[in-house]
Chain A
Amino acid sequence: QVELQESGPGLVKPSGTLSLTCAVSGGSISSSNWWSWVRQPPGKGLEWIGEIHQSGSANYNPSLRSRVTLSVDKSKNQLSLKMSSVSAADTAVYYCARVGALRPFDNWGQGTLVTVSS
C-alpha cells in the first residue's frame, strides 16, 4: 500500500518561498506516471496546483504557473513543490496525491498546513 507524507515548514514569511516535499513509501514513484499537488485554504475548496510525471515533465495551473516549480527525485522516492513570492492567499493545507490511470487522485497524503505570515 503506497503511502504519501508531506513535510515542510509550517510558517513562511510573505514574499518568501514555500518548499514542501512528499515522501512516497510502500512503493516506487515509478509505479505511477503522474503525481499531483492540491491545496485547500482553511474552510474553502480544493485547488489543483499541478502535476509531475515520473520523467520530470510537469503541467501547472495557469493561475500559479509563474510561481510554482514541481520536481521528482527518484533516488529519494519523493516529490517536491516550490512556490515563490507567497502571500497570505497561499495559506492552505497542501496535499500531494497519486494520479490514477484515468487521472483521478486515488491516493492522498494527509496534508500539511502552511501559513504565510510575518
Chain B
Amino acid sequence: DIQMTQSPSSLSASVGDRVTITCRASQSISSYLNWYQQKPGKAPKLLIYATSSLQSGVPSRFSGSGSGTDFTLTISSLQPEDFATYYCQQSYSTPFTFGPGTKVDT
C-alpha cells in the first residue's frame, strides 16, 4: 500500500492568512493526488484533483501543486468558511489511501 503523510497535523491561522499544507506519498504517484475538505458532521468535499485541477465550484483561493511524492495545498487568503480538516488522497493505485488529515482552526 502507498502510505500518505501530511504536515502539519494541525495549524492555527487567522482570516486572511496564507495557509500551506503538505502531503507526501511513500512512493511516486505521478500526479494522482487529490485534496478534500471536511467539516464536522459532513461528508468530505473534493477541492483539487490530479494535483492542481480545481473542482467545479471551488473558490480560486485554493490551489495545489507538486508531483511524484511531494504535494502542497495552498489557501491564498483564508476565509471563515475554510476552517476545517483537509485530507490528501492518492488515486494512483488501489488500495486508495488518505493522509491522516490537517485540522485548520483559529
- Which residues in chain A, 77-91, are within 8 Å of chain B measured between CB atoms? none
A35 interface residue per 8 A CB criterion: no
Per the CB 8 Å criterion, the residue count for chain B at the interface is 24
| Contact B34 A105, beta carbon cutoff 8 Å | yes
Number of CB contacts from chain A to chain B under 8 A: 64
B80 interface residue per 8 A CB criterion: no
Per the CB 8 Å criterion, the residue count for chain A at the interface is 24
Interface segment among A10-18, A20-28, A55-63: the answer is: A55-63
- Which residues in chain A, 30-86, are within 8 Å of chain B measured between CB atoms? 36, 38, 45-48, 51, 59-63
Instruction: Tell me the bound Cα distance from A104 to B1 in angstroms.
Output: 17
Known: A45-B101, A59-B94. A104 touches B43 (CB 8 A): no
B44 interface residue per 8 A CB criterion: yes
A residues near B, CB below 8 A? Answer: 36, 38, 45-48, 51, 59-63, 95, 100, 102-111
Q: List 5 A-B contacts (CB under 8 A).
A: A46-B44, A48-B98, A51-B94, A104-B46, A104-B49
